[in-house]
């Protein structure tokens, strides 16, 4: 048990570190290629912060561990909203100014409902997975077009400020990008092996491991970047990170895993995990979109409620393991 646990710890540490290297390298290369700060924030950084979920879920599906692949994706979405945004709102209430972020919120809600249509029958076929990837491509195309129409936006300014703090040559950026990608794959392999071994030794499903240990670990890049953005008052960047990550997880991560290996859907995901994810997404939409109000807002009380929901959910999962 000690060796698998050590591999999980090492895997998570290297996973988070390599994701950071990968994002900085990719963002720097994007700047050299002339991409706008808004596009870098939405596409490059959004992809990069979800790289841990993507590599872990893809590898899990390849090795025949669908519970970890699905638990990682949906568990990360729950963690992103309830734990990360809850913690960020306690540090500094989140005020939404960006029109881009507000447009993404209803899209995220729609994508969450769409995802249920692919899993409600208890199976994710390769056709379902490819459809999710196609929808993801369509959503990304729409988001890019929307950003091109938006000449000035708060999110673009916040991303530009972040990029100015990290300058490197094209050669260094390439090295960071390639090194980060290699380390992501190596650390993912260590993490998945450790998680599967512990699940087998404890006699629990790999879904529970995916929803808890793996989901929290792969969400650490979002936690770090969102807290850092909140401390600087860059609320739109913090919320944008979470929305982009959840879109990516719901469509690209699950879609790629299913395309690699069609899988059966545990009934717990349909009856327990997706409903909670949908409820949290609906609450995020209600709080952040604001409707006719000028600004959406997640205050400290609402952040505390989100954290309480995450704590109750995690304790419930732990109780199912103890009772098994």
CB contact set of 307 (below 8 Å; sequence gap of 6+): 82, 83, 86, 87, 90
Q: Which one of 3.50.20.10, 1.20.1420.30, 3.40.50.620, 3.60.10.10 gives the CATH number of domain 40-153+203-323?
A: 1.20.1420.30
Q: Which of 123-132, 191-200, 274-283 has the lowest mean pLDDT?
A: 191-200
| Residues 235-250: tens digit of each pLDDT | 667 777 788 889 989 9
pLDDT at 293: 52
Task: Compute the average pLDDT of residues 25-47.
Answer: 68
The domain segmentation of the chain, as residue ranges, is 40-153+203-323
Positive or negative, the Cα torsion across 313, 49, 228, 192?
positive
> Which one is predicted more confidently, 319 or 153?
319
Alpha helices in the chain (DSSP H): 2-32, 37-39, 45-49, 51-62, 66-78, 86-91, 99-119, 126-149, 154-164, 170-202, 206-209, 215-218, 220-231, 235-247, 254-260, 267-268, 274-289, 300-323
pTM > 0.85 = no
Q: Which of 25-34, 41-50, 196-205 has the lowest mean pLDDT?
A: 41-50
> Which one is predicted more confidently, 318 or 157?
318
Asked if residue 151 has pLDDT above 80, the reply is no
């Amino acid at each position: 048990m000690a060796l698998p646990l050590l591999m999980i710890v090492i895997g998570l540490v290297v996973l988070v570190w390599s994701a950071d290297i990968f994002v900085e390298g990719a963002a720097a290369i994007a700047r050299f290629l002339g991409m706008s700060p808004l596009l870098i924030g939405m596409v490059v950084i959004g992809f990069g912060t979800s790289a841990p979920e993507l590599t872990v879920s893809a590898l899990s599906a390849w090795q025949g561990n669908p519970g970890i692949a699905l638990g990682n994706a949906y568990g990360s979405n729950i963690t992103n909203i309830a734990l990360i945004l809850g913690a960020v709102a306690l540090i500094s209430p989140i005020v939404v100014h960006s029109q881009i972020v507000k447009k993404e919120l209803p899209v995220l809600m729609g994508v969450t409902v769409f995802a249920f249509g692919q899993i409600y029958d208890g199976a994710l076929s390769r056709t379902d997975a490819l459809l999710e990837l196609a929808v993801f491509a369509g959503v990304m195309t729409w988001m890019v077009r929307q950003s091109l129409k938006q000449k000035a936006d708060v999110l673009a300014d916040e991303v530009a400020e972040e990029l100015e703090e990290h300058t490197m040559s094209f050669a260094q950026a390439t090295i960071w990008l390639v090194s980060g990608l290699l380390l992501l794959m190596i650390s993912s392999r260590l993490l998945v092996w450790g998680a599967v071994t512990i699940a087998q030794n404890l006699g629990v499903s790999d879904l529970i491991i995916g929803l808890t240990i793996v989901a929290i670990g792969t969400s650490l890049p979002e936690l770090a970047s969102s807290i850092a953005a909140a401390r600087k008052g860059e609320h739109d960047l913090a919320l944008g990170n979470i929305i982009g990550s959840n879109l990516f997880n719901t469509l690209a991560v699950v879609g790629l895993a299913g395309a690699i290996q069609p899988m059966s859907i545990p009934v717990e995901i349909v009856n327990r995990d997706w409903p909670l994810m949908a409820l949290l997404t609906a609450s995020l939409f209600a709080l952040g979109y604001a409707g006719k109000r000028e600004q959406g807002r997640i205050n400290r009380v609402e952040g505390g409620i989100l954290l309480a929901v995450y704590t109750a959910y995690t304790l419930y999962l732990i109780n199912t393991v103890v009772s098994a």
